[in-house]
Amino acid sequence: MNLVIDVGNSLVKLAVFEGNNLLVKKNIKLDFLLKHIDLLRKEYKYIGKVIISSVVKLKDKDMVYIKSFFCLVVLDKSTNLPFKNCYKTPETLGMDRVALVSASVQKYPYNNTLIIDAGTCITYDFVTNKNEYLGGAISPGIRMRYQSLNKLTAKLPLLETELPKDIIGNSTKNSIHSGVIFGVLKEIEGIIEVYVSKYKDLTVILTGGDANFLSKQLKSSIFANSNFLLEGLNFILQFNSNE
């Protein structure tokens, strides 16, 4: 069994895999990481390997504690990857994007694949049918767009995400919803169209916190998978364990 640990700025995603099967997933606060690792270790006694992807540096004593129980892989720039990385600045490539690309080459090997991660930012990552990662794009996510309209103007309010009923906003509130939501939807659909025109037999994956919301509105044929990043981290762990 494998334990996947994805550490964000304040929240941590924990996932236990048996092979490629996700057994359990938890979102916890960073302060309770070791406590929940101990709980999982007692419940799933056959966990032997752990991978950590972290945007914040864990305390040295926490790393020592984790290493005392498991064979540990820390995802960083030196980790062996299951694809050819053709990104011109690999040292700046986020580990979340690395994990998503890894998941795509496991589930859709040697296939032209576009991975769209709709979270704080919307990232687009493309892998060719030769297993080569070329790069993609980064744009503001839904919440970032709402927040920027509020923070960078004098009078526009901060709104919660809401699907507009019409593209024509008949009030300031409805105009903001139309601009943000339809803007994101048309951006995604437009980018997919460009990739489809360049690459045949394109597979499109939609993941991230806003994936479920967006997948219901998009006309394009896509596969929505909220666990894609965790699956990618698990595959990287398997890939490095088998070398």
In sign, the C-alpha dihedral spanning 185, 214, 222, 22 is positive
How wide is the angle at C-alpha 203 spanned by C-alphas 199 and 207, nearest 5°? 130
Residue at which a domain ends, from 17, 41, 74: 74
- Split into its structural domains, the chain has a count of 2
Residues 170 and 120 in one domain: yes
Res. 58 pLDDT band, cuts 50 70 90? confident
Average pLDDT over residues 65-84: 93
Q: What is the CATH number of the domain that holds 10?
A: 3.30.420.40
Q: What is the pLDDT of residue 241?
A: 86
> Is position 242 within any domain?
no
**Rounded to two decimals, what is the model's pTM?**
0.91
Res. 57 pLDDT band, cuts 50 70 90? confident
Residue at which a domain ends, from 39, 74, 109: 74
pLDDT tens-digit map of 7-23: 987 789 999 999 999 99
Q: What is the pLDDT of residue 243?
A: 54
> Is position 243 within any domain?
no
Residues 119 and 229 in one domain: yes
Out of 62, 76, 96, 201, pick the active-site residue: 96
CB count, 10 Å around CB of 110?
11
> Is position 38 within any domain?
yes
How much of the chain, in percent, has pLDDT values that exceed 70?
100
- Domain extent for 55: 2-74
Active site residue 96: yes
